[in-house]
Every structure is written in structure tokens, then in C-alpha cells.
């Protein structure tokens, strides 16, 4: 598979945008035509997962329906409409000796993607890699085995019919865990590994990979309600950031509240969250304002719940809120709610995360919401790819030098 992917990567890298876009249009059509088959296979996966007693959040990530398939097809077409990320002139200089040096965007090559549960990642990954001229080797979770196999067959059929190499997209059929470690050793064939999943998966891949890794680490995201906040706005944003879809990495896990508005704000937001069956864990100051909730432990501040659970801490200042986020956060997504522009800008500058928000929900950290068409993950690394990874994150560059007999003296 590694050899096939490497060979396919050379062909897809030099393919025209027309061929790649034709393949994407075909994929979108096939997803609509084969909807019944896809959902039937997804039900097989769901039944097995339910029998294993997996959590509701896990089942939510695994489940496909007609609406999901429609969005999937729309995502593919959105990527098709994006500009070609390849062959773009990034920088140019004419040297005194006459050399013309250009830096141009090129594909990375072969990308290995290791992910859990979510079958929609199969289509997102293949679509973005195809558009950016990369071959991809997929290794989905065993929980979404039948869904992923069916989707991969659809992808390969569309790619082949568009005149591109079938092995541009491949999926590892082995369900054994040792298959992952074997993939991580294929440094002769794979150029990049992107893991998507829980903390244990990310750590295992990072520790064992002989190939460069871009980490999609856990999302311990924060919403900070400042003393200058519009409380009506703060209630709406906090509720959305926690409960719009709590099983995602960009949902807020910790709410920080300035002490000056805590006694007014906390009863309102806690009542609304509890009415939606959200468990609240609060610091000592929160417990004094709203008795009867669980006491937050130290480990709560660094926990990604991915459930209807929210930890709350009352802070004395904006400075304390920023320090808490930089200490316990995962450099993913964090938001401040304030009507004071100066305080808002201070938060945006000093919080060391991939995405920082002013008066908005953290749930917007998403490739599609950012206008990237789709995403291959949300990188929490500080390298060329940070935050939602779209097409540009899947490209590298090379230097092209034009000379006329120059030699170095």
C-alpha cells in the first residue's frame, strides 16, 4: 500500500486542476446515489458499537444520516470550488548574479491519517488530499469499519473514472492495533502522519512514529465572561459553546467568570445548563454562589469531558483568567465575552491558542466555518499548520531557480 501510494502521489501531484475537480464532482454525486448503501453499512457499525456499550458521545460521532450525507456532498463541492493550492508563487527574488529564485507551493506527498469513530473523516481527508495533490493512506477506527470500507470504494471508483490513479486513496483493512504501529514505520513511503482521536491515540502516534506528525490534540477550551460582559450575550454564547454539540473538541469545557459579575451571572447560566441536564463542577467561590453542585477538583481544569459536563471557576481578574487558560488549556480554542475592546484585545494577544475569540462561541473552530471547505483536523502544534487544517496546510513548497550558466565563486 505504501508503494502504491507513493507511485500515485507522483501522478496526482502533476495532475491538472480539471482532473482533480472532476473527481470531486463525481464523489459528490456518488455519495448522493449510494446513500442507502452507506447508511445500511453505518447501521452495522452502530449496532456493534451499541452492543459494546460505547458512550452516547461516541455513537454521535459514529452515526450517519441523510442530513449528514447531504452535508458531506456539499463539503466535497465546496472544496471543488476552492482555488488550486498548487503551483502558486509564494516568493520571488532576482539575485545580483542574475539567478531568478521562486518559491512555489507543492503537495506534501503521501499522508497517513489515523482516526477514530467518525466515518465522515474518510471523505473529508480524501477530498482535501485529492484537491491538494496528495495521496492518502487511511486507517479508521474498527468501530466505523463497514462505513469506511464502503466510503473508500465510492471514493476510489470516482477517482479512477476521472482518470486519476485509484491508489490516490487507500484504507487499511486490518482492525488490529499493531497495524497502526506498522504504518508509523513506513518512512520510505509516507511523508506525514495526522492522527485524529482521543488523547491516548495522539500520544501513542507521537511516541512511535518514524514519520513527522501533526497533532490534533485534545480540546480543553475555555469561555471567559469578563466583568465588562453583556450578560445576555454571555449566557447565549456559553450555552452554545458547551451544549450545541458537547462531544466535539471545540466545545467549551471550562467557564471562567470575573468575580464582579459572578453572583449575578452564575445562577442564570447554571440554571439554564442544568435544565439541559448538564453537570456542573464548580470552584469554592462558585459553590458559595450556587450551593449543591459538585466541587471541581484540580484535574477538572485539564479534562476534556466531551460530555454534558462543565467546570466553572471564579477569577479575580483578566490576568488570572489568561494565566489559567495558558496553564490548563491545550492551545485549541478560547473565548472572551466583553464589551471592553481594550480588555478583549489583551485577551486575544496573550492567550496562546490556535483560535481566540471575542464575543463568540468556541464551536466555530471548524474548517468549513472558517471558509476552508473542510478540515483534516485542528492542529494544536506551532508549525506551518495550526488550527483548522485546510488545503494550504496540506502543501509544502520548493524553490525553483532559473540560471544562465552561473557558477558559485
pLDDT value of position 367 = 84
More confident residue, 364 or 199: 364
End-to-end CA distance of the chain: 46
pLDDT value of position 221 = 98
pLDDT tens digits, 329-351: 999 999 999 999 999 999 999 99
Q: What is the mean pLDDT of the chain?
A: 95
Confidence of residue 372 (pLDDT cuts 50, 70, 90): confident
Mean pLDDT over residues 195-220, rounded? 90
Confidence of residue 326 (pLDDT cuts 50, 70, 90): very high
pLDDT tens digits, 67-99: 999 999 999 999 999 999 999 999 999 999 999
Report the C-alpha gap between 159 and 157 in whole angstroms: 6
Q: Is the pLDDT of residue 118 over 90?
A: no
Mean pLDDT over residues 347-371, rounded? 95
Confidence of residue 384 (pLDDT cuts 50, 70, 90): confident
pLDDT value of position 145 = 95
Q: Cell 466531551 appears where? A: 306
pTM of the model: 0.87
* Contact between 279 and 296 (Cβ < 8 Å): no
Q: Is the pLDDT of residue 303 over 90?
A: yes
4-8, 53-57, 68-72, 340-344: lowest mean pLDDT where? 53-57
pLDDT value of position 262 = 98
Q: Above pLDDT 90, what percent of the chain?
A: 88
- Domains of the chain by range and CATH? 2-214+389-402 (3.40.605.10), 221-364 (3.40.309.10)
Q: Is the pLDDT of residue 376 over 90?
A: no
pLDDT value of position 176 = 87
pLDDT value of position 217 = 81
Residue 358, exposed/middle/buried by CB under 10 A (0-12, 13-18, 19+)?
Answer: middle
Amino acid at each position: 500500500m505504501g508503494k502504491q501510494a507513493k507511485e500515485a502521489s507522483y501522478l496526482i501531484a502533476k495532475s491538472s486542476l480539471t482532473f482533480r475537480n472532476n473527481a470531486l464532482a463525481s464523489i459528490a454525486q456518488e455519495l448522493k446515489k449510494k446513500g442507502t448503501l452507506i447508511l445500511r453499512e453505518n447501521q452495522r457499525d452502530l449496532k456493534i458499537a451499541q452492543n459494546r456499550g460505547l458512550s452516547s458521545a461516541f455513537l454521535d460521532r459514529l452515526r450517519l444520516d441523510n442530513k449528514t450525507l447531504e452535508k458531506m456532498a456539499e463539503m466535497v463541492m465546496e472544496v471543488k470550488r476552492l482555488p488550486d493550492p498548487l503551483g502558486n508563487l509564494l516568493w520571488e527574488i532576482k539575485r545580483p548574479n542574475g539567478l531568478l529564485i521562486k518559491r512555489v507551493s507543492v503537495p506534501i506527498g503521501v499522508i497517513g491519517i489515523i482516526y477514530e469513530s467518525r466515518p465522515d473523516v474518510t471523505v473529508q481527508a480524501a477530498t482535501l488530499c485529492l484537491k491538494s495533490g496528495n495521496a492518502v493512506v487511511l486507517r479508521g477506527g474498527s468501530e466505523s469499519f463497514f462505513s469506511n470500507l464502503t466510503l473508500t470504494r465510492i471514493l476510489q471508483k470516482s477517482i479512477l473514472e476521472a482518470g486519476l490513479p485509484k491508489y490516490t486513496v487507500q484504507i487499511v483493512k486490518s482492525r488490529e492495533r499493531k497495524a497502526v504501529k506498522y504504518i508509523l514505520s513506513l518512512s520510505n513511503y509516507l511523508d506525514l502522519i495526522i492522527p485524529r482521536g482521543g488523547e491516548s491515540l495522539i500520544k501513542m502516534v507521537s511516541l512511535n512514529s518514524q514519520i513527522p506528525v501533526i497533532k490534533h490534540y485534545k480540546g480543553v477550551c475555555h469561555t471567559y465572561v469578563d466583568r465588562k460582559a453583556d450578560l445576555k450575550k454571555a449566557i447565549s454564547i456559553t450555552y452554545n459553546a458547551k451544549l450545541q454539540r458537547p462531544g466535539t473538541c471545540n466545545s467549551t469545557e471550562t467557564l471562567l467568570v470575573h468575580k464582579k459579575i459572578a453572583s449575578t451571572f452564575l445562577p442564570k447560566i447554571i440554571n439554564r445548563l442544568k435544565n439541559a441536564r448538564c453537570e456542573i463542577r464548580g470552584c469554592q467561590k462558585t459553590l458559595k454562589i450556587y450551593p449543591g453542585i459538585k466541587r471541581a477538583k484540580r484535574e477538572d481544569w485539564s479534562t476534556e469531558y466531551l460530555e454534558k459536563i462543565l467546570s466553572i471557576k471564579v477569577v479575580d481578574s483578566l490576568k488570572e483568567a489568561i494565566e489559567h487558560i495558558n496553564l490548563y488549556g491545550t492551545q485549541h480554542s478560547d473565548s472572551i465575552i466583553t464589551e471592553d475592546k481594550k480588555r478583549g484585545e489583551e485577551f486575544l494577544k496573550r492567550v496562546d491558542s490556535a483560535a481566540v475569540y471575542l464575543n463568540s462561541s468556541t464551536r466555530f473552530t471548524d474548517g468549513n466555518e472558517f471558509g476552508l471547505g473542510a478540515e483534516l483536523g485542528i492542529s494544536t502544534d506551532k508549525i506551518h499548520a495550526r488550527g483548522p487544517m485546510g488545503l494550504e496546510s496540506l502543501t509544502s513548497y520548493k524553490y525553483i531557480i532559473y540560471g544562465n550558466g552561473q557558477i558559485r565563486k
